Chains A and B, each alone.
Chain A
Protein backbone atom coordinates (compact mmCIF):
# COMPACT_ATOMS: atom_id res chain seq x y z
CA UNK A 1 0.00 0.00 0.00
CA UNK A 2 1.23 3.43 -0.90
CA UNK A 3 -0.23 6.29 1.12
CA UNK A 4 0.33 9.74 -0.24
CA UNK A 5 -0.67 13.12 1.03
CA UNK A 6 1.14 16.13 -0.32
CA UNK A 7 0.92 19.87 -0.06
CA UNK A 8 3.21 22.18 -1.93
CA UNK A 9 3.12 25.22 -4.14
CA UNK A 10 5.40 25.40 -7.11
CA UNK A 11 4.42 28.91 -8.11
CA UNK A 12 2.04 31.63 -7.04
CA UNK A 13 -0.62 30.23 -9.36
CA UNK A 14 -0.12 26.51 -8.83
CA UNK A 15 -0.73 24.80 -5.51
CA UNK A 16 -0.82 21.06 -5.03
CA UNK A 17 -2.91 19.49 -2.30
CA UNK A 18 -3.63 15.83 -2.86
CA UNK A 19 -4.02 12.70 -0.85
CA UNK A 20 -4.78 9.25 -2.10
CA UNK A 21 -3.90 5.66 -1.42
CA UNK A 22 -2.61 3.20 -3.99
CA UNK A 23 -3.25 -0.45 -3.08
CA UNK A 24 -1.28 -3.26 -4.73
CA UNK A 25 -1.91 -3.20 -8.48
CA UNK A 26 -2.28 -0.37 -10.91
CA UNK A 27 -3.66 2.98 -9.81
CA UNK A 28 -4.11 5.49 -12.58
CA UNK A 29 -3.36 9.11 -11.90
CA UNK A 30 -5.43 10.81 -14.52
CA UNK A 31 -5.61 14.46 -15.44
CA UNK A 32 -4.94 17.06 -18.09
CA UNK A 33 -1.41 18.35 -18.53
CA UNK A 34 -0.65 20.88 -15.83
CA UNK A 35 -2.89 19.17 -13.29
CA UNK A 36 0.10 18.17 -11.16
CA UNK A 37 0.50 14.48 -12.00
CA UNK A 38 4.24 14.58 -12.59
CA UNK A 39 4.75 16.73 -9.51
CA UNK A 40 3.03 14.08 -7.41
CA UNK A 41 5.29 11.36 -8.79
CA UNK A 42 8.43 13.43 -8.25
CA UNK A 43 7.46 14.10 -4.66
CA UNK A 44 6.86 10.40 -4.02
CA UNK A 45 10.24 9.55 -5.54
CA UNK A 46 11.87 12.25 -3.41
CA UNK A 47 13.02 14.40 -6.31
CA UNK A 48 10.96 17.28 -5.00
CA UNK A 49 10.39 18.16 -1.39
CA UNK A 50 6.78 19.08 -0.64
CA UNK A 51 5.96 21.66 2.01
CA UNK A 52 3.73 19.32 3.92
CA UNK A 53 2.23 15.85 3.99
CA UNK A 54 3.35 12.23 4.21
CA UNK A 55 4.50 9.48 1.90
CA UNK A 56 4.30 5.97 3.33
CA UNK A 57 5.05 2.73 1.48
CA UNK A 58 3.94 -0.32 3.43
CA UNK A 59 5.38 0.29 6.87
CA UNK A 60 8.17 2.58 5.68
CA UNK A 61 7.65 6.32 6.09
CA UNK A 62 9.57 7.99 3.27
CA UNK A 63 8.47 11.51 3.98
CA UNK A 64 6.70 13.11 6.88
CA UNK A 65 6.72 16.86 7.25
CA UNK A 66 5.48 16.63 10.85
CA UNK A 67 8.37 14.45 12.06
CA UNK A 68 10.85 15.92 9.56
CA UNK A 69 11.40 12.56 7.95
CA UNK A 70 12.82 12.75 4.45
CA UNK A 71 14.45 9.57 3.20
CA UNK A 72 17.01 10.39 0.47
CA UNK A 73 16.02 9.51 -3.08
CA UNK A 74 18.62 6.76 -3.37
CA UNK A 75 17.29 4.90 -0.32
CA UNK A 76 13.56 5.10 -1.05
CA UNK A 77 13.36 1.89 -3.10
CA UNK A 78 10.81 3.53 -5.38
CA UNK A 79 10.89 2.73 -9.06
CA UNK A 80 10.31 5.78 -11.24
CA UNK A 81 10.20 5.79 -15.01
CA UNK A 82 10.15 9.41 -16.09
CA UNK A 83 8.27 10.48 -19.17
CA UNK A 84 11.47 11.03 -21.13
CA UNK A 85 12.92 7.77 -19.79
CA UNK A 86 16.34 9.24 -18.95
CA UNK A 87 18.31 6.27 -20.22
CA UNK A 88 22.05 6.73 -19.81
CA UNK A 89 23.21 7.47 -23.36
CA UNK A 90 26.81 6.34 -22.85
CA UNK A 91 25.88 2.94 -21.41
CA UNK A 92 24.63 -0.13 -23.26
CA UNK A 93 21.16 -1.54 -22.68
CA UNK A 94 22.66 -4.19 -20.39
CA UNK A 95 24.68 -1.60 -18.46
CA UNK A 96 21.60 0.57 -18.10
CA UNK A 97 19.58 -2.35 -16.78
CA UNK A 98 22.37 -3.47 -14.41
CA UNK A 99 22.89 0.04 -13.08
CA UNK A 100 20.51 -0.20 -10.15
CA UNK A 101 21.69 -3.63 -9.00
CA UNK A 102 25.41 -2.92 -8.87
CA UNK A 103 25.48 -3.93 -5.20
CA UNK A 104 24.80 -7.56 -6.15
CA UNK A 105 27.63 -9.90 -7.05
CA UNK A 106 28.34 -10.28 -10.69
CA UNK A 107 26.70 -13.66 -11.29
CA UNK A 108 23.46 -12.64 -9.57
CA UNK A 109 23.47 -9.31 -11.35
CA UNK A 110 23.84 -10.91 -14.76
CA UNK A 111 21.19 -13.49 -13.95
CA UNK A 112 18.62 -10.88 -12.95
CA UNK A 113 19.42 -8.53 -15.82
CA UNK A 114 19.17 -11.39 -18.30
CA UNK A 115 15.87 -12.54 -16.85
CA UNK A 116 14.22 -9.13 -17.12
CA UNK A 117 15.68 -8.43 -20.58
CA UNK A 118 14.36 -11.76 -21.79
CA UNK A 119 10.92 -11.32 -20.26
CA UNK A 120 10.56 -7.91 -21.92
CA UNK A 121 11.87 -9.25 -25.21
CA UNK A 122 14.93 -7.02 -25.51
CA UNK A 123 17.69 -9.51 -24.69
CA UNK A 124 19.07 -9.25 -28.21
CA UNK A 125 19.69 -5.52 -27.70
CA UNK A 126 21.90 -5.84 -24.64
CA UNK A 127 25.03 -4.50 -26.31
CA UNK A 128 23.32 -1.56 -28.04
CA UNK A 129 23.28 2.00 -26.82
CA UNK A 130 19.95 3.82 -26.24
CA UNK A 131 20.65 5.98 -29.31
CA UNK A 132 20.70 2.88 -31.48
CA UNK A 133 17.31 1.36 -30.62
CA UNK A 134 13.71 2.28 -31.37
CA UNK A 135 11.37 4.28 -29.14
CA UNK A 136 9.48 1.20 -28.04
CA UNK A 137 12.71 -0.62 -27.24
CA UNK A 138 13.90 2.38 -25.25
CA UNK A 139 10.69 2.30 -23.24
CA UNK A 140 11.18 -1.39 -22.52
CA UNK A 141 14.76 -0.74 -21.49
CA UNK A 142 13.68 1.99 -19.08
CA UNK A 143 11.02 -0.28 -17.64
CA UNK A 144 13.50 -3.18 -17.34
CA UNK A 145 16.05 -0.93 -15.63
CA UNK A 146 13.47 -0.04 -12.98
CA UNK A 147 11.77 -3.43 -12.57
CA UNK A 148 15.08 -5.24 -12.06
CA UNK A 149 15.68 -3.29 -8.84
CA UNK A 150 12.58 -4.86 -7.24
CA UNK A 151 11.18 -1.58 -5.94
CA UNK A 152 8.59 -1.32 -3.16
CA UNK A 153 6.39 0.82 -5.38
CA UNK A 154 6.49 1.76 -9.03
CA UNK A 155 5.79 5.17 -10.57
CA UNK A 156 5.25 5.37 -14.31
CA UNK A 157 4.89 8.75 -16.00
CA UNK A 158 3.07 8.20 -19.30
CA UNK A 159 5.38 5.30 -20.04
CA UNK A 160 3.46 4.16 -23.10
CA UNK A 161 2.58 7.50 -24.60
CA UNK A 162 4.89 7.08 -27.58
CA UNK A 163 3.79 3.57 -28.46
CA UNK A 164 1.13 2.29 -30.79
CA UNK A 165 -1.89 0.60 -29.30
CA UNK A 166 -0.79 -3.00 -29.88
CA UNK A 167 2.62 -2.42 -28.31
CA UNK A 168 0.99 -0.63 -25.39
CA UNK A 169 -1.26 -3.58 -24.74
CA UNK A 170 1.65 -6.03 -24.86
CA UNK A 171 3.68 -3.97 -22.44
CA UNK A 172 0.79 -3.65 -20.03
CA UNK A 173 0.35 -7.41 -20.10
CA UNK A 174 4.06 -7.80 -19.34
CA UNK A 175 3.77 -5.33 -16.49
CA UNK A 176 0.74 -7.09 -15.03
CA UNK A 177 2.45 -10.47 -15.30
CA UNK A 178 5.53 -9.08 -13.55
CA UNK A 179 3.43 -7.65 -10.74
CA UNK A 180 1.29 -10.72 -10.25
CA UNK A 181 3.69 -12.35 -7.79
CA UNK A 182 5.02 -9.12 -6.29
CA UNK A 183 1.81 -7.21 -5.77
CA UNK A 184 3.37 -3.77 -5.37
CA UNK A 185 1.46 -0.52 -5.85
CA UNK A 186 1.95 0.90 -9.32
CA UNK A 187 1.01 4.53 -9.91
CA UNK A 188 0.47 5.08 -13.59
CA UNK A 189 0.18 8.62 -14.85
CA UNK A 190 -1.67 9.31 -18.05
CA UNK A 191 -3.80 11.92 -19.72
CA UNK A 192 -5.03 9.48 -22.37
CA UNK A 193 -8.66 8.49 -21.93
CA UNK A 194 -8.16 5.19 -23.65
CA UNK A 195 -5.57 4.03 -21.15
CA UNK A 196 -7.88 4.74 -18.21
CA UNK A 197 -10.31 2.13 -19.43
CA UNK A 198 -7.67 -0.26 -20.71
CA UNK A 199 -5.78 -0.35 -17.45
CA UNK A 200 -7.78 0.70 -14.69
CA UNK A 201 -8.51 -1.07 -11.57
CA UNK A 202 -8.48 2.33 -9.89
CA UNK A 203 -8.40 5.91 -11.05
CA UNK A 204 -7.46 9.04 -9.16
CA UNK A 205 -8.51 12.11 -11.11
CA UNK A 206 -6.38 15.21 -10.62
CA UNK A 207 -7.56 18.64 -11.56
CA UNK A 208 -5.59 21.82 -10.85
CA UNK A 209 -3.51 20.12 -8.19
CA UNK A 210 -6.45 18.56 -6.36
CA UNK A 211 -8.06 15.13 -6.35
CA UNK A 212 -11.38 15.55 -8.10
CA UNK A 213 -12.50 11.94 -7.86
CA UNK A 214 -11.25 8.46 -7.19
CA UNK A 215 -12.60 4.98 -7.74
CA UNK A 216 -12.93 2.51 -10.58
CA UNK A 217 -13.08 4.06 -14.04
CA UNK A 218 -16.80 3.31 -14.10
CA UNK A 219 -17.44 4.79 -10.67
CA UNK A 220 -15.57 7.89 -11.64
CA UNK A 221 -17.60 8.13 -14.81
CA UNK A 222 -20.81 7.14 -13.09
CA UNK A 223 -21.47 9.67 -10.37
CA UNK A 224 -23.87 12.30 -11.74
CA UNK A 225 -22.01 15.07 -9.94
CA UNK A 226 -18.95 14.02 -11.90
CA UNK A 227 -20.60 14.40 -15.23
CA UNK A 228 -17.73 16.60 -16.31
CA UNK A 229 -15.37 13.73 -15.63
CA UNK A 230 -17.13 11.56 -18.14
CA UNK A 231 -16.74 14.45 -20.51
CA UNK A 232 -13.13 14.84 -19.52
CA UNK A 233 -12.58 11.17 -20.20
CA UNK A 234 -13.67 11.81 -23.76
CA UNK A 235 -17.32 10.89 -23.49
CA UNK A 236 -19.12 14.00 -24.58
CA UNK A 237 -22.41 12.15 -24.78
CA UNK A 238 -23.69 10.55 -21.58
CA UNK A 239 -27.33 9.43 -21.33
CA UNK A 240 -29.53 7.68 -18.78
CA UNK A 241 -31.64 4.90 -20.20
CA UNK A 242 -33.54 1.69 -19.61
CA UNK A 243 -32.63 -1.78 -20.80
CA UNK A 244 -35.49 -2.91 -23.06
CA UNK A 245 -34.21 -6.35 -24.03
CA UNK A 246 -30.82 -7.92 -23.48
CA UNK A 247 -29.40 -10.58 -25.76
CA UNK A 248 -26.36 -12.03 -23.98
CA UNK A 249 -25.84 -14.59 -26.76
CA UNK A 250 -25.37 -11.77 -29.27
CA UNK A 251 -23.41 -9.65 -26.79
CA UNK A 252 -25.81 -6.75 -27.20
CA UNK A 253 -28.80 -5.19 -25.60
CA UNK A 254 -31.43 -2.72 -26.72
CA UNK A 255 -31.71 0.36 -24.59
CA UNK A 256 -34.12 3.29 -24.67
CA UNK A 257 -32.86 6.81 -24.05
CA UNK A 258 -35.33 9.68 -24.29
CA UNK A 259 -37.66 7.61 -26.41
CA UNK A 260 -34.87 6.55 -28.75
CA UNK A 261 -33.93 2.89 -29.04
CA UNK A 262 -30.23 2.13 -29.48
CA UNK A 263 -28.21 -1.06 -29.49
CA UNK A 264 -25.35 -1.13 -26.99
CA UNK A 265 -22.90 -3.84 -25.81
CA UNK A 266 -24.28 -6.37 -23.34
CA UNK A 267 -23.23 -5.45 -19.81
CA UNK A 268 -24.93 -8.09 -17.69
CA UNK A 269 -27.88 -5.84 -16.95
CA UNK A 270 -31.39 -7.28 -16.87
CA UNK A 271 -34.40 -6.07 -18.78
CA UNK A 272 -35.86 -3.01 -17.15
CA UNK A 273 -32.60 -2.01 -15.44
CA UNK A 274 -31.64 1.64 -15.46
CA UNK A 275 -28.26 2.13 -17.05
CA UNK A 276 -26.11 4.98 -18.23
CA UNK A 277 -24.51 4.85 -21.65
CA UNK A 278 -21.84 7.06 -23.14
CA UNK A 279 -20.38 7.61 -26.59
CA UNK A 280 -17.56 9.83 -27.78
CA UNK A 281 -18.43 12.72 -30.06
CA UNK A 282 -15.66 11.60 -32.41
CA UNK A 283 -17.06 8.06 -32.69
CA UNK A 284 -20.31 9.19 -34.28
CA UNK A 285 -20.52 9.28 -38.08
CA UNK A 286 -22.76 11.76 -39.88
CA UNK A 287 -24.50 10.90 -43.13
CA UNK A 288 -26.27 13.37 -45.41
CA UNK A 289 -28.78 10.79 -46.64
CA UNK A 290 -30.12 7.65 -45.10
CA UNK A 291 -27.38 5.02 -45.26
CA UNK A 292 -28.33 1.57 -46.40
CA UNK A 293 -26.60 -1.81 -46.21
CA UNK A 294 -24.39 -0.76 -43.33
CA UNK A 295 -23.00 -2.94 -40.55
CA UNK A 296 -23.56 -0.32 -37.87
CA UNK A 297 -26.66 -1.10 -35.86
CA UNK A 298 -27.60 2.42 -34.82
CA UNK A 299 -28.71 4.65 -37.66
CA UNK A 300 -30.54 7.57 -36.11
CA UNK A 301 -32.30 10.29 -38.09
CA UNK A 302 -31.85 13.74 -36.64
CA UNK A 303 -31.63 17.44 -37.23
CA UNK A 304 -28.63 19.76 -36.76
CA UNK A 305 -29.46 22.19 -33.97
CA UNK A 306 -26.22 24.10 -33.90
CA UNK A 307 -22.85 24.11 -35.57
CA UNK A 308 -19.67 25.59 -34.15
CA UNK A 309 -15.97 25.41 -34.68
CA UNK A 310 -13.24 24.83 -32.14
CA UNK A 311 -9.76 24.79 -33.64
CA UNK A 312 -9.67 22.08 -36.29
CA UNK A 313 -12.88 20.47 -35.05
CA UNK A 314 -16.44 21.21 -36.08
CA UNK A 315 -18.85 20.60 -33.24
CA UNK A 316 -22.42 19.81 -34.23
CA UNK A 317 -25.36 19.32 -31.89
CA UNK A 318 -27.81 16.96 -33.45
CA UNK A 319 -31.27 16.26 -32.05
CA UNK A 320 -32.23 12.62 -32.63
CA UNK A 321 -34.42 12.17 -29.61
CA UNK A 322 -31.71 13.13 -27.19
CA UNK A 323 -29.23 15.74 -28.42
CA UNK A 324 -25.89 14.29 -29.47
CA UNK A 325 -22.64 16.17 -29.66
CA UNK A 326 -20.79 15.16 -32.80
CA UNK A 327 -17.24 16.09 -33.84
CA UNK A 328 -16.18 16.16 -37.43
CA UNK A 329 -13.60 17.87 -39.60
CA UNK A 330 -14.42 21.18 -41.28
CA UNK A 331 -13.91 19.51 -44.66
CA UNK A 332 -16.46 16.84 -43.82
CA UNK A 333 -18.94 19.45 -42.61
CA UNK A 334 -18.47 21.31 -45.88
CA UNK A 335 -18.91 18.21 -48.04
CA UNK A 336 -22.16 17.42 -46.26
CA UNK A 337 -23.21 21.08 -46.55
CA UNK A 338 -24.12 21.02 -42.90
CA UNK A 339 -25.98 23.97 -41.46
CA UNK A 340 -28.51 24.52 -38.77
CA UNK A 341 -31.67 22.63 -39.61
CA UNK A 342 -29.95 20.11 -41.94
CA UNK A 343 -31.42 16.64 -41.90
CA UNK A 344 -28.78 14.06 -41.10
CA UNK A 345 -28.40 10.45 -40.02
CA UNK A 346 -26.12 9.58 -37.11
CA UNK A 347 -24.31 6.27 -37.39
CA UNK A 348 -23.05 4.68 -34.16
CA UNK A 349 -21.48 1.23 -33.96
CA UNK A 350 -22.73 -0.88 -31.11
CA UNK A 351 -19.24 -1.13 -29.64
CA UNK A 352 -18.72 2.61 -29.69
CA UNK A 353 -21.17 2.76 -26.81
CA UNK A 354 -19.82 2.44 -23.31
CA UNK A 355 -22.22 1.09 -20.74
CA UNK A 356 -21.96 2.33 -17.21
CA UNK A 357 -23.78 0.15 -14.72
CA UNK A 358 -25.97 1.98 -12.27
Chain B
Protein backbone atom coordinates (compact mmCIF):
# COMPACT_ATOMS: atom_id res chain seq x y z
CA UNK B 1 0.00 0.00 0.00
CA UNK B 2 1.31 3.42 -0.97
CA UNK B 3 0.66 5.31 2.27
CA UNK B 4 2.52 8.38 1.10
CA UNK B 5 0.31 8.74 -1.98
CA UNK B 6 -2.81 8.08 0.06
CA UNK B 7 -1.91 10.77 2.59
CA UNK B 8 -1.03 13.18 -0.18
CA UNK B 9 -4.42 12.68 -1.82
CA UNK B 10 -6.25 13.24 1.46
CA UNK B 11 -4.15 16.35 2.11
CA UNK B 12 -4.82 17.64 -1.40
CA UNK B 13 -8.57 16.99 -1.14
CA UNK B 14 -8.76 18.67 2.27
CA UNK B 15 -6.93 21.77 1.10
CA UNK B 16 -9.06 21.92 -2.03
CA UNK B 17 -12.29 21.60 -0.03
CA UNK B 18 -11.30 24.42 2.28
CA UNK B 19 -10.31 26.56 -0.69
CA UNK B 20 -13.61 25.74 -2.42
CA UNK B 21 -15.54 26.86 0.64
CA UNK B 22 -13.69 30.16 0.55
CA UNK B 23 -13.98 30.63 -3.22
CA UNK B 24 -17.12 28.67 -3.99
CA UNK B 25 -19.52 30.12 -1.42
CA UNK B 26 -19.19 33.71 -2.70
CA UNK B 27 -19.47 32.53 -6.32
CA UNK B 28 -22.55 30.47 -5.44
CA UNK B 29 -24.01 33.44 -3.54
CA UNK B 30 -23.51 35.61 -6.58
CA UNK B 31 -25.05 33.03 -8.90
CA UNK B 32 -28.05 32.54 -6.61
CA UNK B 33 -28.79 36.24 -6.05
CA UNK B 34 -27.42 38.26 -8.93
CA UNK B 35 -29.90 39.68 -11.38
CA UNK B 36 -27.23 40.46 -13.96
CA UNK B 37 -28.53 39.54 -17.39
CA UNK B 38 -25.30 37.82 -18.50
CA UNK B 39 -25.16 35.67 -15.38
CA UNK B 40 -25.66 32.53 -17.45
CA UNK B 41 -22.23 33.05 -19.03
CA UNK B 42 -20.57 32.82 -15.63
CA UNK B 43 -22.64 29.75 -14.82
CA UNK B 44 -21.51 28.18 -18.09
CA UNK B 45 -17.84 28.86 -17.34
CA UNK B 46 -18.17 27.42 -13.82
CA UNK B 47 -19.78 24.28 -15.25
CA UNK B 48 -17.09 23.86 -17.92
CA UNK B 49 -15.04 21.22 -16.02
CA UNK B 50 -18.12 18.98 -16.09
CA UNK B 51 -17.89 18.58 -19.87
CA UNK B 52 -14.23 19.18 -20.68
CA UNK B 53 -11.85 16.22 -20.66
CA UNK B 54 -9.52 16.63 -17.66
CA UNK B 55 -6.56 16.62 -20.01
CA UNK B 56 -7.86 19.72 -21.78
CA UNK B 57 -8.37 21.54 -18.50
CA UNK B 58 -5.03 20.31 -17.22
CA UNK B 59 -3.29 21.41 -20.40
CA UNK B 60 -4.54 24.98 -20.16
CA UNK B 61 -3.82 25.19 -16.45
CA UNK B 62 -0.31 23.95 -17.17
CA UNK B 63 0.13 26.60 -19.87
CA UNK B 64 -1.29 29.26 -17.55
CA UNK B 65 0.98 28.47 -14.61
CA UNK B 66 4.06 27.34 -16.56
CA UNK B 67 7.43 28.97 -16.13
CA UNK B 68 6.88 31.23 -19.14
CA UNK B 69 3.41 32.47 -18.18
CA UNK B 70 2.94 35.71 -16.20
CA UNK B 71 1.33 33.75 -13.36
CA UNK B 72 4.16 31.24 -13.25
CA UNK B 73 6.79 34.00 -13.37
CA UNK B 74 5.12 36.03 -10.66
CA UNK B 75 4.86 32.93 -8.47
CA UNK B 76 8.52 32.08 -9.02
CA UNK B 77 9.65 35.61 -8.19
CA UNK B 78 7.60 35.59 -4.94
CA UNK B 79 8.28 32.08 -3.71
CA UNK B 80 11.50 31.18 -5.49
CA UNK B 81 10.15 28.02 -7.09
CA UNK B 82 7.88 27.11 -9.98
CA UNK B 83 4.14 26.60 -9.69
CA UNK B 84 3.84 23.84 -12.27
CA UNK B 85 4.64 20.32 -11.02
CA UNK B 86 4.27 21.51 -7.40
CA UNK B 87 1.67 20.72 -4.76
CA UNK B 88 0.42 24.32 -4.93
CA UNK B 89 -0.03 24.07 -8.69
CA UNK B 90 -1.96 20.86 -8.19
CA UNK B 91 -4.19 22.56 -5.63
CA UNK B 92 -4.93 25.37 -8.06
CA UNK B 93 -5.79 22.98 -10.88
CA UNK B 94 -7.94 20.86 -8.57
CA UNK B 95 -9.89 23.90 -7.37
CA UNK B 96 -10.78 24.75 -10.95
CA UNK B 97 -11.54 21.14 -11.78
CA UNK B 98 -13.84 20.61 -8.78
CA UNK B 99 -15.45 24.06 -8.83
CA UNK B 100 -18.81 22.98 -10.30
CA UNK B 101 -19.09 20.13 -7.81
CA UNK B 102 -18.99 22.66 -5.01
CA UNK B 103 -20.66 25.71 -6.56
CA UNK B 104 -23.69 23.98 -8.02
CA UNK B 105 -24.91 22.34 -4.79
CA UNK B 106 -24.09 25.55 -2.88
CA UNK B 107 -26.04 27.71 -5.32
CA UNK B 108 -28.97 25.28 -5.43
CA UNK B 109 -29.14 25.29 -1.62
CA UNK B 110 -28.99 29.09 -1.47
CA UNK B 111 -31.75 29.37 -4.05
CA UNK B 112 -34.02 27.15 -1.94
CA UNK B 113 -33.79 29.32 1.16
CA UNK B 114 -37.02 31.26 1.66
CA UNK B 115 -36.35 34.82 0.47
CA UNK B 116 -38.69 36.23 3.08
CA UNK B 117 -36.29 35.03 5.80
CA UNK B 118 -33.43 36.94 4.22
CA UNK B 119 -35.67 39.99 3.90
CA UNK B 120 -36.73 39.68 7.54
CA UNK B 121 -33.07 39.60 8.53
CA UNK B 122 -32.34 42.77 6.56
CA UNK B 123 -35.40 44.55 7.98
CA UNK B 124 -34.13 43.67 11.46
CA UNK B 125 -30.97 45.58 10.64
CA UNK B 126 -28.60 42.75 9.75
CA UNK B 127 -25.91 43.35 7.14
CA UNK B 128 -25.66 41.04 4.14
CA UNK B 129 -22.70 39.29 5.69
CA UNK B 130 -24.54 38.70 8.96
CA UNK B 131 -27.62 37.51 7.09
CA UNK B 132 -25.45 35.08 5.13
CA UNK B 133 -23.71 33.82 8.25
CA UNK B 134 -26.71 33.53 10.57
CA UNK B 135 -29.56 32.67 8.18
CA UNK B 136 -28.42 31.65 4.71
CA UNK B 137 -25.56 29.29 5.60
CA UNK B 138 -27.33 27.42 8.43
CA UNK B 139 -30.38 26.87 6.24
CA UNK B 140 -28.20 25.73 3.33
CA UNK B 141 -26.03 23.40 5.38
CA UNK B 142 -27.19 20.27 3.56
CA UNK B 143 -26.24 21.65 0.18
CA UNK B 144 -22.93 22.89 1.52
CA UNK B 145 -22.08 19.49 2.98
CA UNK B 146 -23.08 17.83 -0.28
CA UNK B 147 -20.86 20.21 -2.23
CA UNK B 148 -17.91 19.61 0.05
CA UNK B 149 -18.32 15.83 -0.10
CA UNK B 150 -18.61 15.84 -3.88
CA UNK B 151 -15.54 18.07 -4.23
CA UNK B 152 -13.59 15.90 -1.83
CA UNK B 153 -14.49 12.71 -3.67
CA UNK B 154 -13.85 14.31 -7.01
CA UNK B 155 -10.42 15.56 -5.96
CA UNK B 156 -9.43 12.20 -4.50
CA UNK B 157 -10.41 10.51 -7.74
CA UNK B 158 -8.96 12.90 -10.26
CA UNK B 159 -6.35 11.59 -12.63
CA UNK B 160 -6.08 13.47 -15.90
CA UNK B 161 -5.54 16.89 -14.40
CA UNK B 162 -2.92 15.56 -12.00
CA UNK B 163 -1.03 13.86 -14.79
CA UNK B 164 -0.98 17.05 -16.84
CA UNK B 165 -0.26 19.60 -14.12
CA UNK B 166 1.41 17.69 -11.31
CA UNK B 167 3.38 14.99 -12.98
CA UNK B 168 4.46 12.15 -10.74
CA UNK B 169 6.70 13.37 -7.93
CA UNK B 170 6.48 11.12 -4.84
CA UNK B 171 5.22 13.05 -1.82
CA UNK B 172 4.59 16.18 -3.90
CA UNK B 173 2.22 15.41 -6.73
CA UNK B 174 2.02 11.63 -6.81
CA UNK B 175 -1.59 11.17 -5.73
CA UNK B 176 -3.26 7.88 -5.03
CA UNK B 177 -4.82 7.42 -8.45
CA UNK B 178 -1.43 8.01 -10.09
CA UNK B 179 0.22 5.59 -7.68
CA UNK B 180 -2.31 2.88 -8.47
CA UNK B 181 -1.85 3.47 -12.18
CA UNK B 182 1.93 3.22 -11.81
CA UNK B 183 1.67 0.02 -9.81
CA UNK B 184 -0.55 -1.52 -12.44
CA UNK B 185 1.83 -0.44 -15.21
CA UNK B 186 4.63 -2.07 -13.24
CA UNK B 187 2.46 -5.20 -12.86
CA UNK B 188 2.51 -4.84 -9.07
CA UNK B 189 -1.11 -5.87 -8.73
CA UNK B 190 -0.90 -6.70 -5.02
CA UNK B 191 0.39 -3.25 -4.12
CA UNK B 192 -2.18 -1.59 -6.43
CA UNK B 193 -4.93 -3.63 -4.83
CA UNK B 194 -3.91 -2.70 -1.29
CA UNK B 195 -3.89 1.02 -2.11
CA UNK B 196 -7.15 0.84 -4.03
CA UNK B 197 -8.85 -1.11 -1.26
CA UNK B 198 -7.70 1.39 1.36
CA UNK B 199 -9.15 4.16 -0.79
CA UNK B 200 -12.46 2.35 -1.12
CA UNK B 201 -12.73 1.76 2.64
CA UNK B 202 -11.76 5.34 3.39
CA UNK B 203 -14.31 6.72 0.93
CA UNK B 204 -17.12 4.59 2.31
CA UNK B 205 -16.30 5.72 5.86
CA UNK B 206 -16.23 9.41 4.92
CA UNK B 207 -19.48 9.23 2.96
CA UNK B 208 -21.23 7.24 5.69
CA UNK B 209 -20.14 9.76 8.31
CA UNK B 210 -21.32 12.67 6.21
CA UNK B 211 -24.71 11.17 5.45
CA UNK B 212 -25.19 10.27 9.11
CA UNK B 213 -24.41 13.87 10.04
CA UNK B 214 -26.65 15.14 7.30
CA UNK B 215 -29.57 13.18 8.62
CA UNK B 216 -29.27 14.86 11.99
CA UNK B 217 -28.95 18.24 10.34
CA UNK B 218 -32.24 17.66 8.56
CA UNK B 219 -34.12 17.86 11.80
CA UNK B 220 -33.52 21.58 12.19
CA UNK B 221 -35.13 22.27 8.85
CA UNK B 222 -38.56 23.89 8.93
CA UNK B 223 -41.37 21.42 9.06
CA UNK B 224 -43.67 21.42 6.07
Contacts and interface: CB of A to CB of B under 8 A. Distances in A.
Nearest to B221: A89
A79 B123 CA distance: 7
Contact of A74 (B122, B134, B221): B122
Interface in A75-105: 75-80, 82, 84, 86-90, 99-100, 102-103
Contact of B119 (A75, A82, A130): A82
A218 interface: no
Contacts of B123: 45-47, 73-74, 76, 78-80
Interface residues of A, number: 29
Interface in B123-175: 123-127, 130, 134-135, 138-139
Interface string A317-335: 0000000000000000000
A146 B135 CA distance: 17
Contacts of B86: none
Given A99-B134, A131-B222, A131-B223, A86 B117 contact: yes
Given A90-B139, A99-B134, A131-B222, A47 B127 contact: no
Given A88-B120, A88-B135, A74 B220 contact: no
A82 B127 contact: no
Contacts of B122: 47, 72-74
B141 to A, nearest CB: 9
Give the bracket for the number of chain B residues in contact with chain A.
20 to 34
A202 interface: no
B73 interface: no
Contacts of B116: 82, 84, 86
Given A74-B126, A74-B127, A131-B222, A90 B119 contact: no
A88 to B, nearest CB: 6
A7 interface: no
Contacts of B223: 131
A216 interface: no
Nearest to B141: A90
Interface in B174-202: none
Given A129-B220, A149-B124, 18 more contacts: A45-B123, A74-B125, A78-B123, A82-B116, A82-B119, A84-B116, A86-B114, A86-B117, A88-B117, A88-B120, A89-B139, A90-B139, A99-B124, A99-B126, A100-B126, A102-B126, A130-B222, A131-B223
Interface of A: 45-47, 72-80, 82, 84, 86-90, 99-100, 102-103, 129-131, 145-146, 149
12 contacts: A45-B123, A46-B123, A47-B122, A47-B123, A73-B122, A88-B117, A89-B220, A99-B121, A99-B124, A100-B126, A149-B124, A149-B125
